[in-house]
């Protein structure tokens, strides 16, 4: 099972559906530090899967249960599970120590 840091979550205007919101989410694998992205449109059915992640960001979030597509992207139909939720500064300190080992 892979664990991912929610590195960013940015709300933008949708290119697919002008006038609607899309969230661009970036993740970092805790073990390999590889990066992946996904895009979540508010009007799509899968938004409910991501609502808790989007609403809690910018807290320090570690999630799991993400499905990769071609090793480049995260499937927006994934059903992420939050396994760790702390202050972002605290998580940054923990990860800096972890990655410097």
Q: For 11-46, give one letter per residue: b (16+ CB within 10 A) or e.
A: eeebeeeeeeebbebbbbebeeeeebebbbbeebee
pLDDT digit string, tens, across residues 56-69:
999 999 999 999 99
pLDDT digit string, tens, across residues 20-49:
889 999 999 999 999 999 999 988 999 999
Describe the chain by its helix, strand, coil percentages, rounded to 5. Answer: 20, 40, 40
**Do residues 6 and 57 make contact, with C-beta atoms less than 8 angstroms apart?**
yes
pTM score, whole prediction: 0.93
């Amino acid at each position: 099972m892979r664990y991912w840091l929610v590195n960013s979550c940015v709300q933008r205007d949708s290119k697919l559906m002008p006038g609607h919101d899309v969230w661009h989410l970036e993740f970092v694998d805790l073990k390999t530090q590889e990066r992946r992205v996904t895009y979540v449109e508010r009007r799509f059915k899968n938004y409910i899967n991501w609502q808790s992640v989007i609403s809690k960001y910018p807290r320090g979030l570690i999630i799991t249960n993400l499905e990769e597509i071609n090793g480049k992207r995260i499937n927006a139909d994934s059903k992420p599970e939050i396994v760790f939720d702390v202050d972002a500064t605290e998580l940054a300190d923990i990860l800096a120590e972890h990655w410097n080992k």
